[in-house]
Amino acid sequence: MKVLSLGCGGFIGSHLTRRLLDKGHSVTGIDIYNDKIEECIGHDKFSFIRHDIRKPGLGLKEMVADADVVIDLIAYANPGLYIKMPLEVFRLNFVENLKIADACLSLGKRLIQFSTCEVYGKTVVSFLKEELKDPEDPRYATFSEDSSDFILGHLGKHRWIYSCAKQLLERVIHAYGIEKNFNYTIIRPFNFIGPKIDYLLDETDGIPRVFSFFMDALINGTPMKLVDGGHHRRCYTYIDDAIECIYRIVMNPDNVCDRQIFNIGTPENEVSIRQLAEMMREIYNDTFSDKRRPLSEIIEVPASDFYGEGYEDSDRRIPDISKARRLLGWEPKWKLREMLETTMRYYITEYLKHYREQHADAHFHDIVHKALEIT
Ligand SMILES: NC(=O)c1ccc[n+]([C@@H]2O[C@H](COP(=O)([O-])OP(=O)(O)OC[C@H]3O[C@@H](n4cnc5c(N)ncnc54)[C@H](O)[C@@H]3O)[C@@H](O)[C@H]2O)c1
């Protein structure tokens, strides 16, 4: 199969490229960055084009015409950026992504569009807590692709522009399906974790996502900051489980994924952000720390200090994955603790060792050394 993958150099894209090549498919990949897919460059079935899709000269239509399936992963997917530059988030995540959908529509190609679980927004519990008999009932926070409503904050909470842009893109693609028989599959990821999730120590693309932020804090002995107490809950999924599901969607057995939306997540791995911080701290202390430096403290910070004004968060979200189970026979396998340990080890060994030169203090050498011994 010939796959065109836009955003192939990101967290999900890099793992997916590897899987597609390993399975013998041809991949044309487009991204601004190639650090995460360096190992694939040079593969005879991979052609990488470094290009910013906002700039002219890509030849998108020709590339779409040449592909059997198009996968669009491109987005700003970082809450810090939704606060800092909401217009640019809208422009990239909706306006530019729509051009990709339009090219697929005009050439009759199937599109796999990455959306987000953030389209579901908040739960009813976030504003009706007092009136509900059992606000802890997980049914209030369990979201299904084809029946759950979307609840977002007011305009002053402009972080929802990410969710809105993704939702609008989904709605247009869905309408193309109704009016123009467009063939698509929409994917809503629920918080994936794994190697290559974000760069540590680098805020070029905003504050890194929570795992990388905590990892960075642990390595540097700086505070692990819990935004608004860290009460919000998430269900984490290991990247290998996610890629297995995405790969099945790409293969589309008996066309079961045509005009379908899929949640990809692990309902059993629910944890509050505070519990996530505590678990990572414990793993770091038990497995990686040299014990010479005090462990990072966990502290609380208001969202307005951490992100700026306009922030609000989904209080809780649990994926209903019965559709992926039924249509694709997919079942996530990784438990939270093991995915954290594996990913933390990756960061300390494979990733941070490249930074040995720049961060050559004794503490850093010790943790890398310890992790390498354990691997
Ligand atoms: N990782 C998750 O848990 C998660 C959760 C919800 C939604 N998603 C969605 O899945 C998709 C992939 O997520 P990810 O975690 O791999 O994100 P990522 O940021 O790691 O990957 C996105 C890639 O798009 C590239 N890109 C951005 N702007 C570009 C441009 N103008 N031209 C060319 N390339 C550009 C980036 O360089 C990056 O490599 C995104 O659409 C995201 O919204 C991911």
**Residue with CA at minimum distance from ligand 1 atom 38:** 10
- Ligand 1 center to residue 75 CA distance, Å? 5
> Quick one: which atom of ligand 1 is closest to the CA of 14?
16
Ligand 1 site residues, Cβ closer than 6 angstroms: 7, 9-13, 30-33, 52-54, 73-75, 77, 92, 114, 116-117, 189, 191-192
Q: Cβ(2)–Cβ(68) under 8 Å?
A: yes
| Integer CA distances (angstroms), 141 to 107, 122, 260, 319, 358, in order | 39, 8, 21, 8, 44
- In degrees and rounded to multiples of 5, residue 111 shows phi and psi of -115, 130
Which stretches does DSSP call E strand in 45-170? 46-50, 69-72, 110-114, 142-143
Ligand 1 pocket test target in 38, 58, 73 with most atoms within 8 Å of CB: 73
Q: What DSSP string describes 355-375?
A: GTTTT--HHHHHHHHHHHHH-
Q: Tally Cβ neighbours within 10 Å of residue 184.
A: 24
Sorted by sequence, the CB contacts under 8 Å of residue 116 that are 6+ apart come out as 75, 77, 162, 163, 166, 188, 189
Structure tokens at 21: 């090549």
The residue annotated as part of the active site, out of 162, 176, 247, 284, is 162
State how far the Cα of 202 lies from the Cα of 206, in Å rounded to an integer: 8
> Quick one: which atom of ligand 1 is closest to the CA of 52?
32
State how far the Cα of 99 lies from the Cα of 207, in Å rounded to an integer: 28
In sign, the C-alpha dihedral spanning 299, 344, 32, 262 is: negative
Q: Which residue shows structure tokens 């099945």?
A: 248
Indicate the length of the chain as a whole number: 375
Which stretches does DSSP call E strand in 104-205? 110-114, 142-143, 184-189, 192-193
Q: Would residue 76 show up in a list of annotated catalytic residues for this protein?
A: no
Q: What is the largest CA-CA distance in the chain?
A: 64
**Residue with CA at minimum distance from ligand 1 atom 11:** 73
Write down the pTM of the prediction.
0.94
> Quick one: which atom of ligand 1 is closest to the CA of 36?
39
pLDDT in tens, the chain (375 residues): 999 999 999 999 999 999 999 999 999 999 999 999 999 999 999 999 999 999 999 999 999 999 999 999 999 998 889 999 999 999 999 999 999 999 999 999 999 999 999 999 999 999 998 999 999 999 999 999 999 999 999 999 999 999 999 999 999 999 999 999 999 999 999 999 999 998 655 555 567 789 999 998 998 899 999 999 999 999 999 999 999 999 999 999 999 999 999 999 999 999 999 999 999 999 999 999 878 778 999 999 999 999 989 999 999 999 999 999 999 999 999 999 999 999 999 988 865 676 665 655 555 556 665 655 554
DSSP code at position 316: B
Structure tokens at 3: 């796959």
